[in-house]
Structure 1
Amino acid sequence: MTKGKVYFVGAGPGDVGLITVKGQKAIEKADVILYDRLLNPKLLEAAAFDCELIYCGKTPYTTGISQGEINELLVSKALEGHRVVRLKGGDPAVFGRVGEEAESLKDEGIPFEVIPGVTSSIAASMYAGVPVTHRDYGRSFAMVTGHDQTKKDIDWNGLVSIDTVAFYMGVANLPSIRENLINHGKPGNTPALVIQWGTYGRQESVEGTLDDIVERVSGRSLGNPAITLVGDIISLRGKLQWFERKPLYGQRFLVARTGTAKSALAEALYELGGEVIEFPKWNATKVKIEESQLLAFLSYDRILFTSPESVHGFLDSLTEHAIDFRRISSKLYVLSRKSKKALQQRGLTAELKSGMPEAGTLLVVGDRNRDLRDLAHGDGDYIQSITKFVDERFLEIFPRMLDGKAVGTVLFSNRHSVDMLMQYGNKADVDVEGLLKQASIGVIGESTGNRLQDYGFTSDMMPKEPSVEQLVDLIVNRNVC
């Protein structure tokens, strides 16, 4: 069998937008992905549906998968002929043990490639408002492991001469770091900054000096993953802060998903500084429709699409059979603005179902079995153009996505999203009911709010008009108040 190849990919420190283009492409093409604890699991959504996802997370002071076992997995999966991605938080070459793992591949003659990523110290520092170099404050920069495993003494004399020093994962050893820096000549009034979960919406920063940083961090109960920054350059933070001043900074949201399309709601919250978890993860496969069937469908007076996926499935089938879209003489209707936009992107216009007349023949195009014969859609004929289903690989990942800071707000876009979060959240061994009791709840419309009440919950936010923009405005105004 032909040997596969291993790609060591730097995932960046947390913000999914910091993945490199080359790293993203490697994820999309992978047969197997071995991923770490500290990267953002949302990056895994780009993987193919048949890609095997293997969790290799390690937590401090606990037993888990060993480095030797990871090395063996890389070798065995590559020897099976797979395209393997070793997905690491930050940059694989900066305290990422890429050397050890690559050596194990080299010994077996397995080809590999390293795709660098944005390292935590540089990204987290800038997200906290501190550049690691500056002509007036810092012309030298050093990165040091905060929990040294080499059993060799750190060159503290050399470090005190460096303008800016970043310690990785050094919160537990912060008292020792402070003591050594001061004892080797660093002034006690040197600015210090500890950044936990850098570049995530849950990022938290504690600023002080070497004299008092230990007590300040202890008072805020910060822990790893964190970067500790030491140097006069930290004084620029007051002028250069940008991320922590976004309107939804520090807020954590859970958006209940019902489709494969990119969520406009999640994207809007993310752009405003919020950390957004989306669940469940959906996939779709096209249903084969014969050409004769498609041509018959075009004779209906009205066609109602129940989702964006049903739109694309139907139109893709037309394209596959070389049927010109201009042959559609039917009046087109949709259940949501998302579906309307999907049609617009394909050069077609539609109206919302609320404006659909009752007269005329009707074809309802759906994306899953529950759409078939749903009387709420109208008295007509039904066809499934695509099969949409929950990606159950993410049932294991969902609980880990919820680790850390509690979710403050849960958002539902339609009735189906309520059912799906309840069903698949509990299937993932997450106490959804308990989560909802502790969080604020937002819904886009009255129908969604009514479905939520069926489960014993009431919404805290509902816009006057059912739109993403108005719901986001409510959230921002609520946060400001």
Structure 2
Amino acid sequence: MEKGRAFLVGAGPGDVQLITVKGMEAIKKAQVILYDRLANPKLLDYAPADCELIYCGKLPDRHVLRQEMINDLLVEKVLEGKIVVRLKGGDPGVFGRVGEEAAALAENGLSFDIVPGITSGISAPLYAGIPVTHREFGESFAVVTAHDKSENGQPKLDWKGLATGIDTIAFYMGISNLPYISKNLIKHGKPADTPVILIQWGTFSRQQTLEGTLSNIAAKAKEVNFTNPAITLVGDIVSLRKKLNWFEKKPLFGKQILLARTGTDESELAKELMEQGADVIEFPKWKKVTVPVDRAVISRISAYEEILFTSPESVREFLRILIAERIDIRRVKANFYGCSTKSVKSLNEKGFMAKLEGEMPLSGKLLVVGDSDITSEYPHAEKFITSKKMIDEQFTPIFKRVIEEASVNTIILPSSRAVKTIVEEGIIKEIIPQQLLKTARVVSMGVRTANASEKYGIIPDKVLEAPDKTSVINCLASKEPELSFV
């Protein structure tokens, strides 16, 4: 058997767009991914459908897999001839134990690449409006671990050198040791009024900050129960935040959105929401498998007067099948319709003048094209199944963990099919807490979607007249008063 290869990849600090090109390329060809808690799980969406996903995350109070077990598993999978990605938050070489994992691979004669990532000690401050160096505030910068392997976890550092020789210091995961850090820096010469900022979940929309000084930051953090994952940045450079704070001014900053999905394509809506500052959890993760072509339908393709496409994917799959079956598109005489604006757009991009489903006449010979999730809204129509769609169960524990850690405050329902999915696959199966329907703001994209929601007992807080991404963003960015819940 051929030996495989490992890629030890830095996933960046959280914002999925901050991964390197080389890191993304490794994910896209991976056969196995061993990923950490701080690697944004949305990156796993880019992995092949048959990729094995293994969670290696660590929490302050427990380890899912200890480091020695991770090393052994990494070696084992590479020896099986697999392309293995070890996906680590931030940069693997900055407190990421990449040296230990690379050593395990090297000792077994296995090939590996180390792919750097953007470390949180630099990126989290930047997303809080603070560059870590500046000619007027400091020309030296240090990254320091805020805990070590000792019994009490308090690192033995060159406190004198840090306090008097370094302008700006980034402590990683230092919240529990804040009193110890502050005391030692002041004791060894750092002024007690030196500015300090704590940045939790940096580069995410749930980013939280807390400002103070060495003399009071520990008490402030205790008062509000500030927790890791967080960066503690110490230095006069923190004062730049007042002028340069850019990320938290994005229109959707603070929005943690649960977006119901019915398609396998990358969501343009999700991309735009994230661009505007939101965190987006897309549920569920779908995968598709091919099905035998229904040649009986293909043989009478010229007889249909209307063809309704249920998704953009169904448009591409239908055209791909016609080409594979050597059917000239000019044999299709039907008018084309789409169940959504995305479906219509996909048809338009292929050169077809299509309309929305609502404009379709109810008479005439109709063919509905879609995956195995086609509903029976048109009992007299013929159906053409292009593929079988199923939920990727590998992502179920990932969703549970992400929703548990996030504070979802907005739910977006794009279609009636999405409503059915989020209820039957999410809430009934207890992947999504039912309480979210009461505590989060529910936005329905269109009246039909709202009607479907109400059948399941979900009353939308907002129904959009135009079911498109611009309307969604304008709605969420509007300065409406926050909903209050009993």
State TM-score, norm by structure 1. 0.95
Tell me which residue corresponds to 1:170.
174
The within-5 A match list for 1:108-127 is: 108-127=108-127
Query: Displacement of 1:272 after TM fit?
Result: 1.8
1:409-434 Cα offsets, whole Å, 9 max, x none, are 11111111122112222466335322
Please give the alpha-carbon distance, in whole angstroms, between the structure 2 residues aligned to 1:479 and 1:65: 45
| Amino acid aligned to 1:272 | Q
Aligned: 1:271 with 2:272: no
Aligned: 1:19 with 2:19: yes
Tell me which residue corresponds to 1:461.
462
Tell me which residue corresponds to 1:397.
398
Query: Displacement of 1:254 after TM fit?
Result: 0.6
Please give the alpha-carbon distance, in whole angstroms, between the structure 2 residues aligned to 1:271 and 1:448: 25
Aligned: 1:8 with 2:8: yes
- C-alpha change, 1:139 and 1:312, in structure 2 (3 Å) is same
> In structure 2, the residue corresponding to 1:285 is in which secondary structure?
strand
| Amino acid aligned to 1:59 | L
The within-5 A match list for 1:54-453 is: 54-149=54-149, 153-160=156-163, 161-289=165-293, 294=298, 296-371=300-375, 374=376, 376-377=377-378, 379-426=380-427, 429-453=430-454
Query: Displacement of 1:327 after TM fit?
Result: 4.5
- C-alpha change, 1:475 and 1:11, in structure 2 (3 Å) is same
Query: Displacement of 1:480 after TM fit?
Result: 6.8
Please give the alpha-carbon distance, in whole angstroms, between the structure 2 residues aligned to 1:273 and 1:220: 24
Query: Displacement of 1:385 after TM fit?
Result: 1.3
> In structure 1, the residue corresponding to 2:463 is in which secondary structure?
coil
Query: Displacement of 1:478 after TM fit?
Result: 4.6
Please give the alpha-carbon distance, in whole angstroms, between the structure 1 residues aligned to 2:155 and 2:255: 41
Which stretch shifts more, 357-366 or 395-404? 357-366
- C-alpha change, 1:359 and 1:440, in structure 2 (3 Å) is closer
1:35-71 Cα offsets, whole Å, 9 max, x none, are 0011111110111111100000111122431111101
Please give the alpha-carbon distance, in whole angstroms, between the structure 1 residues aligned to 2:398 and 2:106: 31
- C-alpha change, 1:19 and 1:479, in structure 2 (3 Å) is farther
- C-alpha change, 1:423 and 1:292, in structure 2 (3 Å) is closer
Query: Displacement of 1:4 after TM fit?
Result: 0.7
| Amino acid aligned to 2:213 | T
Please give the alpha-carbon distance, in whole angstroms, between the structure 2 residues aligned to 1:329 and 1:305: 15
Please give the alpha-carbon distance, in whole angstroms, between the structure 1 residues aligned to 2:440 and 2:238: 35
Unaligned stretches of 5+ residues in structure 2:
none
Query: Displacement of 1:323 after TM fit?
Result: 4.1
Please give the alpha-carbon distance, in whole angstroms, between the structure 1 residues aligned to 2:142 and 2:183: 18
- C-alpha change, 1:391 and 1:108, in structure 2 (3 Å) is same
Please give the alpha-carbon distance, in whole angstroms, between the structure 1 residues aligned to 2:294 and 2:64: 51
Query: Displacement of 1:109 after TM fit?
Result: 0.6
1:368-418 Cα offsets, whole Å, 9 max, x none, are 1543xx2x3363321111222211111111111113342111111111112
Identical counterparts, % of pairs = 49
- C-alpha change, 1:30 and 1:76, in structure 2 (3 Å) is same
Tell me which residue corresponds to 2:51.
51
- C-alpha change, 1:212 and 1:309, in structure 2 (3 Å) is same
Please give the alpha-carbon distance, in whole angstroms, between the structure 2 residues aligned to 1:288 and 1:149: 58
| Amino acid aligned to 2:156 | D
Asked if structure 2 preserves the Cα contact closer than 8 Å seen for 1:395 and 1:427, the reply is: no
1:356-376 Cα offsets, whole Å, 9 max, x none, are 2244322211211543xx2x3
> In structure 2, the residue corresponding to 1:436 is in which secondary structure?
helix
Query: Displacement of 1:75 after TM fit?
Result: 0.8
Please give the alpha-carbon distance, in whole angstroms, between the structure 1 residues aligned to 2:479 and 2:291: 43
Aligned: 1:475 with 2:476: yes
1:254-282 Cα offsets, whole Å, 9 max, x none, are 11111112323322321221111110011
> In structure 1, the residue corresponding to 2:209 is in which secondary structure?
strand
Please give the alpha-carbon distance, in whole angstroms, between the structure 2 residues aligned to 1:405 and 1:396: 14
Asked if structure 2 preserves the Cα contact closer than 8 Å seen for 1:166 and 1:229, the reply is: yes
Which stretch shifts more, 307-316 or 222-231? 307-316
Please give the alpha-carbon distance, in whole angstroms, between the structure 1 residues aligned to 2:355 and 2:458: 32
- C-alpha change, 1:182 and 1:298, in structure 2 (3 Å) is farther
Which stretch shifts more, 461-470 or 7-16? 461-470
Asked if structure 2 preserves the Cα contact closer than 8 Å seen for 1:396 and 1:428, the reply is: no
Please give the alpha-carbon distance, in whole angstroms, between the structure 2 residues aligned to 1:86 and 1:63: 17
Please give the alpha-carbon distance, in whole angstroms, between the structure 2 residues aligned to 1:440 and 1:291: 46
| Amino acid aligned to 1:342 | S
Please give the alpha-carbon distance, in whole angstroms, between the structure 1 residues aligned to 2:111 and 2:403: 36
Please give the alpha-carbon distance, in whole angstroms, between the structure 1 residues aligned to 2:327 and 2:141: 62
Query: Displacement of 1:324 after TM fit?
Result: 4.4
Please give the alpha-carbon distance, in whole angstroms, between the structure 2 residues aligned to 1:335 and 1:462: 18
1:324-353 Cα offsets, whole Å, 9 max, x none, are 445433211111101011112323221112
| Amino acid aligned to 2:348 | Q
